Amino acid sequence: MTNMVEEAFFVNAHDTIYLKKAIAKALYNKNIDQLKISLLLKLSQPMVSNYISSNEEIPKNISQLAENISEKIQNENSINFHTCLSISDKHLEGRYFIAKKNEIISDDKNKIVDNLTEAFYLLKGRDISGLIPEVKINIAMLKENAENSEDIAAFLNGLIITDDRVTSYNGIRFGKSKHLSSLLLSLKDILNIKAIMNIAYIKNPEKINFKYGYLTKNFKLNGNEKNLDILLHKGDFGIEPCAYILGKDAVDVVNKVVKLKEAIK
């Protein structure tokens, strides 16, 4: 899974001054001017000058950490440097990642990420012309007892299509695909499904070997049919007609898409 989480380095409180001094020196040795260093480290320029000229001995582990951080600053001009206090009953030291609550991967979430990843590789490189809507294609899958969108994972910004073929994706996230998440939550118990994928509208569904049904204009299930493979939405003002492939998981959904592509050739 591609992460957008923040990287953090934890040091003892009494070492924070050493760390700033060491970073200032390391950046100055990389030919970064004092004004930029002061902005990066949120220090006054005279303080930066004092740090650079200081002969105070800095612990080796702090110097190594400072060199690591200074290289990141040099290579990533947009990097932000912050310091904060951590209140913990555990001793924290070293490199960590800071994530939002919904980005923390538990075992059940990890299984969903793995399933979505497997589904992607089943689609990767396949010609899906005729199934590509104007909006982004995405696949969403929920965990057991899902209550809201934070319990549903999807591809961040959808699947990337090049020359009618699925080529890549920008990561998998929980709580991101609002439309598919909302639809999946409303249908999961009625149709006993855990995954959904949006594709282009199917004009002659009676010619394919799938059980299909329809959604109302406001995306409610139209009818009492069960065990559906596909739901069709005829569109509305400003809403593109589309189809939704349903399944027990993301891999099941993609296998249906592959069969559907063969059927509409």
Question: How many other β-carbons are positioned within 10 Å of the β-carbon of residue 179?
Answer: 15
Q: What pLDDT, on the 0 to 100 scale, is given for residue 96?
A: 67
23-55 tens-digit pLDDT:
999 999 999 889 988 888 888 999 999 999 988
Residue segments in the chain with a per-residue pLDDT below the cut of 50: 1-4
Q: Determine the pLDDT at residue 3.
A: 43
Within 108-241, strands assigned E span 139-142, 152-155, 159-162, 165-169, 172-174, 195-200, 212-215, 221-222, 230-233
Specify the pLDDT at position 181. Answer: 95
Tell me what pLDDT residue 29 has. Answer: 92
Q: pLDDT value at position 141?
A: 97
State residue 74's pLDDT score. 77
pLDDT at 2: 38
Say which residues have a Cβ less than 8 Å from residue 97's Cβ, sequence separation at least 6.
3, 5, 6, 7, 8
Query: Are residues 59 and 15 in contact, defined by beta-carbon separation less than 8 angstroms?
Result: yes
pLDDT at site 4: 47
Provide the residue ranges of all domains of the chain, joining segments of one domain with +: 6-99, 107-263
Fold of 107-263: L-fuculose-1-phosphate Aldolase (3.40.225)
pTM of the entire structure? 0.63
